[in-house]
Amino acid sequence: MENQTNTIKILFFGDLVGRPGRFAVRDYLLEAKMTQEDKLFTSPVSPFIIANVENASHGFGLTEKNYNDLSEYGINCMTSGNHIWDKKEIFNYIDGADKLIRPFNYPAGTPGQGSHVFELANGVKIAVINVLGRVFMSPVESQWTLVRDEILRLKEITPVIIVDFHAEATAEKICFAKFCSELGVSAFFGTHTHVQTADEQIINGMGYISDAGFCGTRDSVIGMEYKTSLNRFTTCVPERYDVADGDVVQINAVEVEIDSISGHTVAIRRIFKLEDKKEKEKEHEK
């Protein structure tokens, strides 16, 4: 294992679904800071926190208010996906939202940024790229050459490069991940399916998971209300999804440790935690 004195931590949360997802992450981070849970916040430099937020505002898109709230919770970078445009107010603020990244392979001239370089207090720079898959998804620009060129550009700035690949097909995720590992990407997090996979691993020095999962109501259909989902499947009649509500929320995340000199992941840990909101309320009342 490489010299740990140069390691930085990245904490990546799977898709936040509605208010339950936002508040679950808020409470998780608050508790982690208070209790130093899993030694997340005991390093000289706090972990760099990334969350996929394309479903954060009632399940579809992201409002400016929620963007500001999530920033206050301590999220350093927000990635997204195909639902980023669902709240039309996004066009009013995305160009000034320096923490928010939309998929890189939208056509040239699309508002917002597809990648961004963040600088930590200790001077370490972290590049984050958001990419959309094309299999079973709406057509976008091919990611292969486009993203390769962007990774090579960012490698001139920093060895630490993070990819959020928002895609449906696991085969596309695995293949694109191997492609990115050969280019020196540090960590690769799959998103979009809202089902956390159990294949976390290190590929050629790159931390990898096919899907980080989601943060939101446990008793749901990938964060959405069961009966609405059932109606859509059984009747084929369009019906608006509603975010599920319930007492138990789940937090899906992945933590990686990266050597800031080489850019290689040296450790990876998958997080799946359940919290009972009523039990939490009782604890606060004591």
Cα 253 from chain centroid (whole Å)? 8
Look at residues 120, 102, 119 and name the one whose alpha carbon lies nearest to residue 111: 102
The active-site residue, picked from 58, 83, 166, 284, is 83
Residue 83 is a catalytic residue: yes
Q: Which residues contact 174 (CB under 8 A, 6 or more apart)?
A: 210
Q: Which helix (H) or strand (E) holds 61?
A: none
Record the tokens describing residue 251, joined without a space: 């937090």
Count Cα neighbours of 154 within 13 Å in the Cβ-side half-sphere. 27
Instruction: Determine the Cα–Cα distance for residues 79 and 66; give it in Å rounded to an integer.
Output: 14
Partners of 203 in the β-ladder: 206
CA distance linking residue 228 with residue 6, whole number of Å: 49
Residues with a known catalytic role: 83
